[in-house]
Amino acid sequence: MPENKTQPTAIPVADFIAAVPDPVRRGDAEALVPLLEAATGEAPRMWGPSIIGFGSYHYRYDSGREGDAPRVGFSPRKAETVLYLADAFPGRAEMLARLGKHRAGVACVYIKRLSDIDMDVLRALVAASLAHTDAAYPPA
């Protein structure tokens, strides 16, 4: 079974954020770090070259594939900031409907700028995602 490509790294989070070329994305990243740190109680850590993750959990699928992933995370990409949350949890659709300007994939929420979204809804979305992940993948 191939190893998961996205692993924790020793890249300093502050250095990564400082190198984000777009000032909006950089400012949003600077704002998301304390929000997600408070939500998780975990310090930020780089996962791979571009994901800032908070905490970790171990998953194992019925197929036998397993690995580690951040409980929540984000990446300030060139076009938008990507939030990595759980893929399905109670209330997700309703919260996304109230979030503000975004688009959503299976486990990702894409945001052009934090000023376009309701931060209270984002906090609730993150809390619900964490609760779902922690219930589905309890610590060993």
pLDDT at 4 over 70: no
Paired strand residues for 66 = 60
- For residue 99, give the CATH number of its domain: 3.90.1150.200
Identify the weakest region by mean pLDDT among 62-71, 84-93, 99-108.
62-71
DSSP 99: H
Q: Tell me, yes or no, whether 3 lies in a domain.
A: no
Q: Tell me, yes or no, whether 2 lies in a domain.
A: no
pLDDT at 31 over 70: yes
Range of the structural domain that residue 38 is part of: 13-135
What pTM did the predictor assign? 0.92
Helices and strands counted in the chain (H then E): 4, 8
Nearest to 74 by CA among 83, 65, 66: 83
Q: How do residues 108-136 score in pLDDT, each as one tens digit?
A: 999 999 999 999 999 999 999 999 999 99
Question: Residue written as tokens 């688009």?
Answer: 103
Predicted pLDDT of residue 111: 97
Helix ranges restricted to H, 19-118: 23-40, 92-99
Counting the structural domains of the chain, the total is: 1
Paired strand residues for 69 = 57
Q: Tell me, yes or no, whether 140 lies in a domain.
A: no
Q: How do residues 74-93 score in pLDDT, each as one tens digit?
A: 999 999 999 999 988 999 99
